[in-house]
């Protein structure tokens, strides 16, 4: 037997309703905010992620699925959804359209990570990117979209926020971090040593206990923010207060991708069942330009669907089932033409139905109809069909009636 690759998961037919439920909620939120769907390829040129996600990120350094295709091009399976959306925005000249451009996506993402609960090598994200708007209203709107989505699923994860400042603030902060960490860097892990050279901000994200102790004493970003950055952030906080979005500020939140400027945020489980964020995002005002487009501010988020399902299951949240099957055709006759034409007529009229394909006995056809929770069974018996009628059984009430074949569709639709 060939097994599934490590760190990946099948979505099984009997679990798919959970995915449908979540995706339907996401689409409903997108409709309310007038956000349109985008779909970009699963693979892109490697350079897009190296330049987009950033050379100093773990994703680019350690986790990408990169290979040469038969034309010797370096290709990478997308590790996240933002870079592809930005590439498409630029390539399709969307900056010529009226702003903002709001897009959402469902995408598989590939990261060569150490698999564990909630950490997969293939995961899926629901993401939203809001192009062409800067300022408090856009930042608040992106947080509203995400929190509304969680709320529609019965969840209220903690919103953790930080402000990484503009390019100028960041330059000053990185300088301060270098000055602080350099004398102690030999007591820190190898990753931190590298980060000091490539991107000192990322040191703040280190999970190694000894490093954490040193990180606790590091200067805070808030000490380096310019007046504009400070005021914008304070504005956002007061809007969030008025919208009753519960947040917490965490000055060590830097996120694992290099493209962020100013606002960054993550959504966290409130009782620590997951040791990883349920979703995250932020503002990235320089990425479009860095990837060759016209300077365009953007803010967005990505929410991992597998972690979301795990979280909902841990909270015993009930996922709405897919629509129930309208009817199951129990046949006592062996007449393919008759059975399949009745089924076709029902389906042509929008009624879902199943009929026996595996030669079950009549008794097991009823049992099966029960098991699959059909609303009705239609019983095709020889005598009834001579009179052009069938027996229609309501599986909930047990009520049985004879119905003329011509009236069958209407009778089922009436209920
Ligand atoms: P990210 O924080 O790397 O951000 O991923 C977003 C979410 O995807 C995570 O919070 C988590 O729910 C899920 N996720 C990430 N890695 C894994 C994994 N290995 N296994 C399972 N779930 C995972 C981004 O990807 C950004 N593109 C988000 C964004 C959009 N920022 C701005 N716009």
Tell me the per-residue pLDDT of 361-375, one tens digit each, with 9 for 90 and over: 999 999 999 999 999
Summarize pLDDT for 119-131 with one digit per residue, the tens: 999 999 999 999 9
Confidence of residue 207 (pLDDT cuts 50, 70, 90): confident
Give ligand 1 pocket residues (Cβ under 6 A): 80-82, 111, 113, 118-120, 123, 125, 127, 129, 256-257, 277-282, 300-304, 306-307
Of residues 175, 201, 219, 214, the one with CA closest to residue 257: 201
For ligand 1, atom 28: residue with the closest CA: 302
Higher pLDDT, 415 or 26: 26
* CA gap 359, 120 in Å, rounded: 41
> What CATH architecture does domain 16-166+226-314 belong to?
2-Layer Sandwich (3.30)
Asked if 61 and 91 count as a contact pair (C-beta separation under 8 A), the reply is no
- Over 70: is that where the pLDDT of 259 sits? yes
List Cα–Cα distances, 226 to 171, 178, 233, 290, 318, in angstroms: 11, 19, 11, 23, 47
* CA gap 346, 25 in Å, rounded: 29
Asked if 71 and 275 count as a contact pair (C-beta separation under 8 A), the reply is no
- Note whether 16-166+226-314 and 327-414 share their fold: no
Q: Which residues contact 287 (CB under 8 A, 6 or more apart)?
A: 52, 82, 83, 86, 259, 298
**CB-CB neighbours of 257 under 10 Å:** 25
pTM for the structure as a whole: 0.94
Q: What is the whole-number distance in angstroms between the Cα of residue 258 and the centre of ligand 1?
A: 13
83 CA: nearest ligand 1 atom = 27
Q: What is the whole-number distance in angstroms between the Cα of residue 109 and the centre of ligand 1?
A: 9
Q: What is the whole-number distance in angstroms between the Cα of residue 128 and the centre of ligand 1?
A: 12
Look up residue 42 and give its two tokens.
Answer: 């699963």
Q: What is the whole-number distance in angstroms between the Cα of residue 60 and the centre of ligand 1?
A: 14
Mean pLDDT estimate for the chain: 95
User: Where do the structural domains in the chain lie, given as residue ranges?
Assistant: 16-166+226-314, 327-414
Summarize pLDDT for 223-234 with one digit per residue, the tens: 999 999 999 999
> What percent of the chain stands above pLDDT 70?
99
* CA gap 206, 380 in Å, rounded: 67
* pLDDT score for 271: 64
Dump strand ranges (E) for 223-363. 247-249, 263-268, 279-283, 298-304, 327-331, 353-355
Asked if 344 and 394 count as a contact pair (C-beta separation under 8 A), the reply is no
305 CA: nearest ligand 1 atom = 12
Q: Which residues contact 368 (CB under 8 A, 6 or more apart)?
A: 328, 356, 360
- Over 80: is that where the pLDDT of 145 sits? yes
Domain 327-414 fold: Rossmann fold (3.40.50)
């Amino acid at each position: 037997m060939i097994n599934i690759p490590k760190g990946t998961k099948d979505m099984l037919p009997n679990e798919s309703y959970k995915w449908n439920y979540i995706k339907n909620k996401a689409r409903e939120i997108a409709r309310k905010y007038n956000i349109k769907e985008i779909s970009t390829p699963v693979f892109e040129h490697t350079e897009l992620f190296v330049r987009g996600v950033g050379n100093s990120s773990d994703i680019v350094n350690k986790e990408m699925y990169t290979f040469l295709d038969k034309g010797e091009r370096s290709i990478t399976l997308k590790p996240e959804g933002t870079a592809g959306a930005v590439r498409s925005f630029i390539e399709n000249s969307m900056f010529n359209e009226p702003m903002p451009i709001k897009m959402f996506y469902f995408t598989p993402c590939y990261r060569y990570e150490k698999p564990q609960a909630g950490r997969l090598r293939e995961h899926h994200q629901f993401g939203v990117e809001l192009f062409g708007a800067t300022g408090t209203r856009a930042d608040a709107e992106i947080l509203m979209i995400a929190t509304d989505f969680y709320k529609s699923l019965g969840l209220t994860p903690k919103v953790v926020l930080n402000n990484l400042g503009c390019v100028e603030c960041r330059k000053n902060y990185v300088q301060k971090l270098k000055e602080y960490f350099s004398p102690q860097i030999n007591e820190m892990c190898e990753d931190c040593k590298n980060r000091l050279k490539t991107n000192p901000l990322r040191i703040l994200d280190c999970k190694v206990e000894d490093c954490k102790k040193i990180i606790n004493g590091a200067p805070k970003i808030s000490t380096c923010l310019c007046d504009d950055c400070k005021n914008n952030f304070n504005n956002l906080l007061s809007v969030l207060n008025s919208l009753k979005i519960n947040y917490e500020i965490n000055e060590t939140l830097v996120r694992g991708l290099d493209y962020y400027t100013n606002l960054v945020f993550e959504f966290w489980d409130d009782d620590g069942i997951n040791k990883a964020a349920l979703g995250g995002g932020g503002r990235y005002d320089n990425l479009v330009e860095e990837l060759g487009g016209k300077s365009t501010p953007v803010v967005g988020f990505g929410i991992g669907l597998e972690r979301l399902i795990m979280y909902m299951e841990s909270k015993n949240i009930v996922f709405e089932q897919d629509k129930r099957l309208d009817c199951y055709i129990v046949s006592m006759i062996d007449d393919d033409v008759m059975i399949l034409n009745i089924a076709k007529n029902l389906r042509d009229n929008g009624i879902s139905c199943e009929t026996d394909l595996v030669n079950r006995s009549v008794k097991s056809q009823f049992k099966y109809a029960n098991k699959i929770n059909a609303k009705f069974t239609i019983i095709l018996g020889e005598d009834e069909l001579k009179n052009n009628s069938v027996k229609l059984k309501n599986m909930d009430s047990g009520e049985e009636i004879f119905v003329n074949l011509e009236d069958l569709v209407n009778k089922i639709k009436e209920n």
